[in-house]
Amino acid sequence: MDWRPTGHMFSTKDLVHAIFDSKSDAGKLLVKATIGEVELFAAPKSWNAILWLITSTLKVDGSPIYSGSQLGDLKSSLPIVWRAD
């Protein structure tokens, strides 16, 4: 029997809430996705918005606090399927 969890498509706004507000509905879905209860999808352009937000706001002495490889690790650790539909 082939079983897949319920899928949800995240908008950019949903993705921001999921990553930065664990008490939001999107944040709760992100937690559920980590344990396999739901499947999350988002467009690659939404990740670009997250990159801009992180690199523009999280700085020390004017320099971003995360390297490109750290941001890549963050993206790959998220339980999100990135697809352009």
- Report the pLDDT value the prediction gives residue 40, as an integer from 0 to 100: 97
Task: In whole angstroms, give the CA distance from residue 19 to residue 31.
Answer: 10
pLDDT band at 79 (very low <50, low <70, confident <90, very high): very high
Question: End-to-end CA distance of the chain, in Å?
Answer: 27
> What's the mean pLDDT when you consider all of the chain?
92
Is residue 4's pLDDT more than 90? no
Give the pLDDT band (50/70/90) at residue 28. Answer: very high
Task: Provide the whole-model pTM.
Answer: 0.84
Could you tell me how far CA 37 lies from the centroid of its own chain?
16
Q: Which among 12, 21, 18, 80 is positioned nearest to 52, based on CA atoms? A: 12
- Look at residue 59 in the predicted model and tell me its pLDDT: 93
Q: Which pairing describes strands 38-42 and 59-60: parallel, antiparallel, or unpaired?
A: unpaired
